Structure 1
Amino acid sequence: MPVHDLPAAEEPDDVVHAGTLLPHPTAKYLSADEFKAAFRNHPAGVAVITADAGDGPVALTATSVFSVSAEPPLLVFSISDLSSSTPTIRKADTVVVHLLGAGQLDIAKLGATSGIDRFADTSIWTRLPTGEPYFPAAHAWIRGRIVNKMEAGNSTVVAVEALEAKAPAAGDPAADAAEAQPLVYHNRTWHRLSEDSKIS
């Protein structure tokens, strides 16, 4: 029986009506600290997102990037309202998502440090022919067009259609180099994934 046909007393705690998630009236929400603690042991890959909406380049480090579709090629990430880069990314038509290896920890830290000019060192960044700022040292990057934005709490979820990508090909020494080992953020610390981390 469809959810909307159930008697009210039999509805589950979270009921979808007209595309909106409605919390049960007696639901108890986690505190921010409880929510963070639940995710503390959940590692995430590290990316740096860059954009320029006409007011100068911005960059931020994100652990929320994930792919959602291969055909069409779509990825999603979230940006906090507290980030100084968020207004520019919201206005931008395109972004570059850098998927970082352990050898690019300096770029990850750069994007994660507030109150600095992240583009002061002109030797580590340039622009693509299409105008977007990017870091050539990144293990892989994807240029994409923003196709959707959704406000969620104190963040914005951004959906991006991939237009262009650059990554070392299989068998390329750059793909196997130690600096290409994935950079992961776990329990408030940077980590490198390597052959030693395999368990099967």
Structure 2
Amino acid sequence: MPPTKSPDRSHPSLRTSTTKDDDRRALAGLLDELAALYREVDASFAGQTCPASTECCRFGVTGREPYVTSIELALVQRAIAARGGGRTLGRTPPPLTGHEDTSRGKRRLTTVDERVCPLLDENGRCAIYTSRPFGCRTYWCERATSPAGVDQRAINAFVRRIKDLAARHAPEGDLGRPLTRALAGAGANSGPGPRRRR
């Protein structure tokens, strides 16, 4: 019986396939590490309370927006894909009530002025809650309360670990960028898609 030949790994189609498989496995491993880190973050913030006003998800109201690294964006993209893609996002929730103060000469914010996070669904809930970025997990809005206060050293340690993961994901460097800009750059923030017919 003649000896069996092993596949020629030098053939370009086999190298490309192997490289893509290796890349997918490496990304899956990094995303698993990020998910485990997020569980630690959630546990450390378990004592925090949030009134679920979605005010912090309206960047024009707070004047702040969470930054995301490349690895966090990859997890967000995976969660968006699991929902059926970007066309399922961008359905605007109702405007906030109570944040406008016209008695002091401030104008009432329109929905556009609120700059609603594109991940917020029409019911005012995060469409990818379990995969939300670090900045969304750390209760940076003023409405959140904590019996022990915020441990800035713990937050900084988590940030360093996320940056380390991001550096392994994108060795050329990714220090983070605003969530809406990152989503737009990834093609995941193209606005509302067609509603499904029932």
Q: TM-score, normalised by structure 1?
A: 0.22
Greater strand share, structure number: 1
Q: Using CA pairs below 8 Å that are at least 6 residues apart, which structure has the higher relative contact order?
A: 2
